[in-house]
Amino acid sequence: MEFLLAETAANELVDGLSAIGAGIGYGFAAIGPGLGIGYLVGSAVQAMARQPEAAGMVRTTMFLGIAFTEALALIGFVVFILIKFA
Amino acid sequence: MLALEFPPISHLFEWKDLFFKGNEYFAFNKVALLCVISALLVMAFFLAASRKQALVPTGVQNVGEMAYGVVEDNIVVEVMGEKGRPWTPFLASLFFYILFLNLWEIFPFIQFPPTSRMAIPLFLALQTWVIYLVVGFKHQGLGYIKNSLFPPGVPAALYLLVTPIEFVSVFIMRPFSLAVRLFANLMAGHILLVVFFVLAAALWSKTPLIIIWPLPVLVGIALTGFELMVAVIQAYIFTMLTAVYVSDSMEAHH
């Protein structure tokens, strides 16, 4: 009986700790891509303002860059889901 | 305090079988049904648009030509240049298929994006993977592997470092990140909408808390508009990256 109780407590501890870990992990995973996308879009807006005729090309390249940068944040999100629910 | 019961994640994404219940291979649920419906809708739309090819387009033909033109001008010519024009039919159908799949997320009474189940983005990404590999071998022969793994202009010693990185990024990370990007965006969007509407449903009660009920509802409505934007952008990005990878396979790096 005591053994079972101890096991339940340990399981609850593991659940709680994995929830904390998932939350902190995703928070950290969002920092880099957040900075990156902000910098990227800022530069793209600057480029478009300086040279409006190149706006189409800049926009395409900007979306490409966002896609690659954002992938890191999304991988972080997937890890969060895996830790929390899998 | 609040009788707020958030449903477990499996209730948001796993659906009961509709046809062939319990069959290991042919079980058919809401996700598969939505995929089939989207494919039929895309086909019906473009067939209706191209049935009568009037010189001065009207009605559905007008919409169809505009939609096709948007993909051709903004994705194909922008990314692949003039040599990419033969790819427009494939990329346009890919774009509209993904767009229709994504739009089920905010469609009333359906409100579930099939692309938030990993199998569907994964399959689309593997299709892109196979296509750009085949195009690479067709246009460059076996030199494709050499050109992708050993980019020219790199000091010989650095190939120890560059080749494994290029191998992983070209042959493994590309389909993986394509699939994960679409899947995670739609899954996150679906969970986000569920969170706010579950909160709204829980606040709709006879307690004084009902005065803050409009907040989650308004945020939920705003997020629905945001998810509309996400649906379009993700379809656009998936198609554009497919175009980038295919045009990358067409010619060696210089």
* Residue-wise pLDDT tens digits, A7-37: 778 888 888 888 888 889 889 999 999 999 9
Nearest CA in chain B to A58: B78
How would residue B4 be classed by pLDDT, with cut points 50, 70 and 90?
A: low
Q: Do B240 and A75 touch (CB under 8 A)?
A: no
Whole-number mean pLDDT of chain A? Answer: 86
Taking only the tens place, the pLDDT of each residue in B100-111 is 999 999 998 888
Report CB contact under 8 Å: A71, B241.
no
Q: Which residue of A has its CA nearest to B239?
A: A64
Q: Is B7 helix (H, G, I), strand (E, B) or coil?
A: coil
Place of tokens 């809708």: B41
d(CA B136, CA B188): 34
Which of A56, A67, A81 shows the shortest C-beta gap to B237?
A67
Residues of B in contact with A57 (CB under 8 A): 78
Specify the residue for token string 């969170």. Answer: B195
Instruction: Specify the pLDDT at position A86.
Output: 66
Q: What are B209-238's pLDDT values in tens digits?
A: 888 889 999 999 999 999 999 999 999 999
Q: What is the pLDDT of residue B99?
A: 95
pLDDT in tens, A33-67: 999 999 999 999 999 999 999 888 898 889 888 88
Whole-angstrom distance, CA of residue B90 vs CA of residue B93: 5
Closest CA of chain B from A26, distance in Å: 13
B230 or B153: which carries more pLDDT confidence? Answer: B230
| Total Cβ atoms within 10 A of residue A40 | 20
How confident is the model over B50-58, as a mean pLDDT?
Answer: 81
- Of B4-18, B40-54, B225-239, least confident by mean pLDDT is B4-18
pLDDT of residue B154: 83
Q: Is B28 helix (H, G, I), strand (E, B) or coil?
A: strand
Q: What is the pLDDT of residue B1?
A: 46
Q: Which residue has the higher pLDDT, B47 or B25?
A: B47
What's CA B119's distance to the chain center, in Å? 12
Residue B183, pLDDT above cutoff 50: yes
Contact A57 B237 (CB under 8 A): no
- For chain A, list residues whose CB is within 8 angstroms of any CB belonging to chain B: 56-57, 60, 63-64, 66-68, 70-71, 74-75, 77-78, 81, 85
Name the DSSP class of B150. Answer: S
| % of chain B with per-residue pLDDT over 70 | 97
Mean pLDDT score, B128-143: 93
Across the interface, do A63 and B236 touch by the CB < 8 Å criterion? yes
Contacts of A68 in chain B (CB under 8 A): 177
- Look at residue A19 in the predicted model and tell me its pLDDT: 86
Q: Which residues of chain B approach chain A closer than 8 Å at the C-beta?
A: 9-10, 74, 78-79, 177, 180-181, 183-185, 187-188, 233, 236-237, 240-241, 244
Per-residue pLDDT at B27 exceeds 60: yes
* Closest residue to A75, CB basis, from B78, B180, B241: B180
Q: Is B235 exposed, middle or buried (0-12, 13-18, 19+ CB in 10 A)?
A: buried
Q: Taking each helix axis as running N to C, give the angle between helix B59-71 and helix B88-103, from 0 to 180 degrees, rounded to the nearest 10.
A: 110
Query: What whole-number percentage of chain B has pLDDT above 90?
Result: 46
Min distance A44 CA to chain B CA atoms (Å): 17
In angstroms, how far is the first alpha carbon of chain B from the final one?
A: 65
Q: What is the mean pLDDT of residues B71-75?
A: 90
Question: Binning pLDDT at 50, 70 and 90, where does residue B52 land?
Answer: confident
Do residues B106 and B223 lie in contact, with contact meaning Cβ atoms separated by under 8 Å? no
Nearest CA in chain B to A61: B79
Query: Is the separation of the CB atoms in A58 and A48 below 8 Å?
Result: yes
pLDDT of B63 > 70? The answer is yes
**CA distance readout (Å), B78 to A5, B30, B84, B139, B196:** 64, 36, 9, 21, 38
Which chain A residue lies closest to B80 (C-alpha atoms)?
A: A60
| CB pair distance less than 8 Å for B241 and A67 | yes
- The predicted pLDDT at position A31 comes to 93
- pLDDT grade for B53, boundaries at 50, 70 and 90: confident
